[in-house]
Amino acid sequence: MCGKLTMAIVQRVFSGVQPTGNLHLGNYLGAIVNFVKLQETHTCLYCVVDMHALTQPVSVWGGPTELARNTRHIVFNQSQVSSHAELAWIFNCVARVGWLNRMTQFKEKGGKDRESASVGLYDYPVLMAADILLYRATHVPVGEDQKQHLELSRDIAQKFNNDFGDSIRSHGFSDGLFFPQPEPLITGPATRVMSLRDGTKKMSKSDSSDNSRINLTDDADTIAQKIRKAKTDPEPLPSEEKGLEGRPEADNLVGIYAALSGRTKSNVLGEFGGGQFSDFKNGLVELCVAKLSPIASEMKRLVADPGHVDSILIDGADRARAIAAETMKATKDIVGFVRKS
């Protein structure tokens, strides 16, 4: 039996990033900028979701050696806390097939040959619900693309609370709410950064073209090359934001400029509107290099010291495991699994 006081829902932030390749500008502006900010006000858990990475083809996650190398970035990695998988199984039995069939990420990543996609790719959103709710997290900073998955996490939390309502109450949660409804935090300078090759597709680590994204580790020459090659249209830049409508590539590049400089799009267009893309692109190269090069050097420094990063991951996993254990004990009691106390 779990004491009510120790298990009260507290404000807690959780988010994950897959070790499927290089972190890019979209991850930075859509997620990481917010991760850093939230540390000032909340208890935060940030997870390298290596178990999610396995849902994709091996060409995306790179195989065991590459996976191990790419994991050495952030705070703790998912597979070190086995309760992520354990809770995901329970949630598999709460979530409905109809809910998962609506998930657009599976449709996009599964592509035309869905029959040969992994079961894990289909089940990805259920594992994601387990990631979040294992820590009974209340706030989840993510990019726009994860909004639908967050809604599914909320549905799973609610259905679990309903399905096991009597048991939840009899285990000391008098309001019947064991799992919180995790709230997405989709905020910050750019919540959906698009591919440099196609303004209708989001920038992704798993896009086969490296020219589609700016990696946080790219050097100045590579950044310059990618931006100069970035798809545009033949029109000059508009002077007003309204003129970006129907021009996804222009809109994206102006959006990136605005996000990195802390200005509004219309302010940026005030400076570059009416001019040629080439001038604007030169300005964008300069800005990207100035903003990203300190991040690249810090990443280089950390990657050169895997022992240090691994010790952070081990310490992070120990701390995450302690929180997860509390949730799992109570969850098992609620579901009716007999366990060693």
Active site residues: 109, 202, 205
Q: What is the Cα Rg of the chain in Å? A: 22
Euclidean distance between CA atoms 334 and 114, whole angstroms: 36
Least distance (Å) between residue 148 CB and ligand ATP: 11
Least distance (Å) between residue 256 CB and ligand ATP: 10
| Nearest residue to ligand ATP, by Cβ distance, number only | 30
For 149, what's the count of Cα atoms within 13 Å in the CB-facing half-sphere? Answer: 27
Span from 13-21, 75-83, 90-98, 268-276 in contact with ligand ATP (CB under 6 A): 13-21
Detail the DSSP E strand segments found in 30-100.
43-48, 76-77
Instruction: Please give the DSSP secondary-structure letter assigned to residue 195.
Output: P
Among residues 143 and 331, whose Cβ is nearest to ligand ATP? Answer: 143
Q: Name the residue among 17, 15, 26 with its Cα closest to residue 207.
A: 26
Among residues 22 and 158, whose Cβ is nearest to ligand ATP? Answer: 22
Least distance (Å) between residue 325 CB and ligand ATP: 26
17 is a contact residue toward ligand ATP (CB under 6 A): yes
Query: Quick one: which H or E segment has residue 13?
Result: strand 12-17
Euclidean distance between CA atoms 310 and 74, whole angstroms: 9
Per CB under 6 A, which of residues 304..333 are in contact with ligand ATP? Answer: none
Euclidean distance between CA atoms 75 and 100, whole angstroms: 29
Per CB under 6 A, which of residues 39..78 are in contact with ligand ATP? Answer: none
Span from 79-87, 125-133, 185-193, 245-253 in contact with ligand ATP (CB under 6 A): 185-193
Q: Name the residue among 86, 160, 97, 157 with its Cα closest to residue 123.
A: 97
Inter-residue contact 42 to 96 (CB < 8 Å): no
Among residues 161 and 204, whose Cβ is nearest to ligand ATP? Answer: 204
Least distance (Å) between residue 188 CB and ligand ATP: 9
Residue 106, token pair as written in the block: 């599976």
Per CB under 6 A, which of residues 201..220 are in contact with ligand ATP? Answer: 202-206
Euclidean distance between CA atoms 198 and 163, whole angstroms: 44
Classify residue 244 by burial, with Cβ atoms within 10 Å: 0-12, 13-18, 19+.
Answer: buried
Euclidean distance between CA atoms 43 and 110, whole angstroms: 35
Residues 130-169, one symbol each (x = binds ligand ATP by CB under 6 A, - = not), give ------------xx-xx-----------------------
Query: Pick from 13, 27, 47, 137: which binds ligand ATP (CB under 6 A)?
Result: 27
DSSP readout, 132-176? HHTTT-SEEE--GGGHHHHHHHHHHHHHHHHHTHHHHHHTT-TTS
Among residues 39 and 162, whose Cβ is nearest to ligand ATP? Answer: 39
Among residues 56 and 331, whose Cβ is nearest to ligand ATP? Answer: 56
129 is a contact residue toward ligand ATP (CB under 6 A): no
For 316, what's the count of Cα atoms within 13 Å in the CB-facing half-sphere? Answer: 22
Least distance (Å) between residue 316 CB and ligand ATP: 17
Query: Pick from 159, 192, 265, 291: which binds ligand ATP (CB under 6 A)?
Result: 192
Residues at the interface with ligand ATP (CB under 6 A): 15, 17-18, 20, 26-27, 30-31, 142-143, 145-146, 191-193, 202-206
